[in-house]
Amino acid sequence: MTAVGVHRPTPWAVVAPYLRSRPATLAALAGWSLVESLPSLASGAFLALAIDEGFARNLPLVGLGYLALVAGTHIVAGQATRRIYPLVGELAEAVRDGLLTRVVTGLLSGAATSRAAVDTSVVSRMTQQVETARDVLAGLLVIARRTVFAVLAAVIGLTVLEPLLLAAVVPPLVVVLSVFVLLLTPLVRRHRAQVLTEERVAEVTGQVVVGLRDVAAFRAEDHVVELAGEAFEQHRSAVHRLAALTSARTTAVALGAYVPVVVLLALAPALGERGVTAGALVGAVTYLVGTVEPTLRALTLTVGGSALRLAVALHRIAETSEAVERAPLPPATRSAPPRGTDVELRSVSFAYGPEVEPVIRALDLRLAAGSHWAVVGPSGIGKSTLAGLLGGLDQPQQGCLTIGGVALTDHRRLITVVPQESYVFDGTLRENLCYLRPDATDREVAATVTLLGAECLLRVRGGIDEGIDAKIVATDLDAAQRQLVALVRAHLSPAPVIVLDEATCHLDPVSEAVVEQAFAERGGTLVVIAHRMSSAMRADNVLVLDGTASNATGTHESLRRSSAAYAELAGWWADPVAAAVHLPPAPQRRKVRRKLA
């Protein structure tokens, strides 16, 4: 919510700076819009001349000549329309880039001020609002712009054709447009209420889904139904109120489109007595039916519908970013440099909501620099949550995480997390592999690819020379290839701590062992969120997550004797093929790491 007394910028104030940054484009758009409105300006007049000067005087060729002029204006207008669309696209993209920059700056600045993680759900919603604003603005620039120019052209055409006709046409149009404008403000308010209640439904639904296990455990179904039902009822009521006002607006516009035609036809005998010709009457009806009625209908669909969505979207964007405008960022503070790369968790607890049970509970853990850990536990116990905490993607509600004795949040770049679902973007293979270390040489990239057994990426892309610079499309790679891209990227990164969150689940056991050996010999700390018991067997230390505060740690052999939970997991995960793949003994691995360091 906005603080009392804080000025909230209007939608026009939000979008205007980005439009003004393209003055040449705006001028070109206005010029071509004038050309595009030629049929609206000339059709009624030329049709009147065709009747009065041609067909009424038994001169069909003259009449056909004027009709040919009408067709000619449409051809010219078509050429203008072709040039308008690229200009509209340029303006819409400029606004999109500006709004996106504003939103991201606001969210990041807010996170920096509060020293909290950015709410990814807000990022997603605001990105959607920006895309909505871009799409709707483009539609308005195409249709509403055409509406304005067409109505003005029709009024000018009627004035030139017969000024007396304006007395029958303009008053109903003015009344309808006045009603339309008066309804805009309450429509914006009701549309905004509908969007806010929709966001509330999404928020409540998300909380329910995240805490579904706890809802079932505590038999809180009735409370959840009551909470969600209230949000859904508010949304239903907002939608109904918006629909009622929209219906009134549509009725008013429909009357404005057809009442002038009825009035004109009813007054036709009286207008004829005052010297208004049949051609002038037909031309006036043409202006009304062929220009005013379609443009008013378009006005209902755009300004009455899309423009409301644009106004609400811009309001939401302004609300998200206004904190940056009214409060400068705090002065930058230089945090103390870490003393080493030991990672420590002290009494860390994390839950996915204020009313749900913690996934991680009072965890104490020390990851010594250069150690090799495996994290095991049943599905859903919190292994990926721990990976997110180590990577700084989530913040604990209690406890603290440090690296080298200082807050981990100040040094997130020292830890690289590779998730199960690997991110690969369209671009060259080099850009993907070197994303975390752009200055990596071809020799280093090739050596890392070979070390991790990822030569298949280069073979698919044309060999070592062509393959690194080959263009790739993310959807062309299978799941295992995408994981290899992410693993090479992490191995090349300068981060001294690597967390593999089931990052090899799509690889076979032998390939997985090769990858883990490469990371173990890389130097630094390695944490493997295990999905096979072989990963735990290869690690120096194992953490067993069991949903309690007394999580067991030790080696594979010691835990088999001392931890019933681990022994049970070892029995479930028995994999003779994977278990046969071992790294060198731990002392040899430490020796290799010391040499590399």
Task: State the maximum Cα–Cα separation within the chain, in Å, rounded to a whole number.
Answer: 112
Range with top average pLDDT, 330-339, 493-502, 554-563: 493-502
Q: Is the pLDDT of residue 326 over 60?
A: no
The model's confidence at residue 140, banded by pLDDT at 50, 70 and 90, is confident
Please, which residues have CB within 8 angstroms of residue 557's CB and are 6 or more apart in sequence?
Answer: none
The mean pLDDT value for 103-118 works out to 60
Indicate the range of 350-354, 360-364, 499-503 predicted with least confidence. 350-354
Q: State how far the Cα of 147 lies from the Cα of 141, in Å rounded to an integer.
A: 10
Amino acid at 113: T
Q: Please give the residue that has the higher pLDDT: either 295 or 422.
A: 422
The arithmetic mean of pLDDT across residues 277-296, rounded, is 81
CA dist., res. 136 & res. 140, Å (int): 6
pLDDT-based confidence at residue 134 (cuts at 50, 70, 90): confident
Instruction: Work out the number of other CB atoms within 10 angstroms of the CB of residue 132.
Output: 19
Residue 470: pLDDT band (50, 70, 90) is low
The domain spans of the chain are 11-326, 343-420+495-596
Report which of residues 108 and 378 the model is more confident about.
Answer: 378
Q: For the chain, give the percent of residues with pLDDT over 70.
A: 80
Q: Which residues contact 438 (CB under 8 A, 6 or more apart)?
A: none
* pLDDT in the model for residue 534: 87
Q: Mean pLDDT across the stretch 410-429?
A: 84
Segments of 330-423 assigned E as strands: 343-350, 360-367, 372-376, 398-403, 406-407, 415-418
Domain 343-420+495-596's class? alpha beta
* Fold that domain 11-326 belongs to in CATH: ABC transporter transmembrane region fold (1.20.1560)
Which band of pLDDT confidence, cut at 50, 70 and 90, is reported for residue 543?
A: very high
Q: Alpha-carbon distance 225 to 204, whole Å?
A: 10
Which range of 167-176, 317-326, 385-394 scores highest in mean pLDDT? It is 385-394
Spatial distance between the Cα atoms of 562 and 355, rounded to a whole number of angstroms? 34
pLDDT at 589 exceeding the cut of 80: no
Is residue 137 a contact partner of residue 255, using CB atoms and an 8 Å limit?
Answer: no
DSSP run (H or E) holding 500: strand 497-501
Q: Are strands 415-418 and 497-501 parallel, antiparallel or unpaired?
A: parallel
- pLDDT computed for residue 14 by the predictor: 77
- pLDDT at residue 153 tops 60: yes
- Residue pair 289/43 in contact (Cβ under 8 Å)? The answer is no
Query: What is the distance, to the nearest Å, from the Cα of residue 538 to the centroid of all Cα atoms in its chain?
Result: 41
Average pLDDT over residues 192-221: 77
Whether residue 582 is predicted with pLDDT greater than 70 in this model: the reply is no
* pLDDT band for position 530 (cuts 50, 70, 90): confident
Q: How many CA atoms lie within 13 A of 407 on its CB side?
A: 9
Q: What is the DSSP letter of 162?
A: -
3-class SS letters over 283-299? HHHHHHHHHHHHHHHHH
More confident residue, 4 or 163: 163
Q: How confident is the model at residue 463 (pLDDT cuts 50, 70, 90)?
A: low
Percent of the chain at pLDDT above 90?
A: 17
Q: What is the pTM of this model?
A: 0.50
Q: For the residues 335-347, what does the mean pLDDT come to?
A: 87
Rounded mean pLDDT, 285-314: 70
Tokens of 287: 């202006």
SS3 371: coil
Q: How would you write 3-39 as a 3-class SS string?
A: CCCCCCCCHHHHHHHHHHCCHHHHHHHHHHHHHHCHH
pLDDT of the residue at 324: 43
Q: What is the pLDDT of residue 583?
A: 47
Phi, psi of 452 (to 5 degrees): -90, 5
- The b/e string for 428-442 (b: 16+ C-beta within 10 A; e otherwise) is ebbebbbbebeebee
Residue 594 tokens, joined: 């010391």
Higher pLDDT, 588 or 205: 205
Residues linked to residue 360 through DSSP beta bridges, in sequence order: 350
Of 527 and 157, the structure prediction assigns the larger pLDDT to 527
Angle at 199 between CA 195 and CA 202, to 5 degrees: 140
Confirm whether 11-326 and 343-420+495-596 share one CATH topology. no
Range with lowest mean pLDDT among 12-16, 104-108, 231-235, 267-271: 104-108
Confidence of residue 135 (pLDDT cuts 50, 70, 90): confident
Q: How confident is the model at residue 588 (pLDDT cuts 50, 70, 90)?
A: very low
CA atoms within 13 A on the CB side of 411: 23
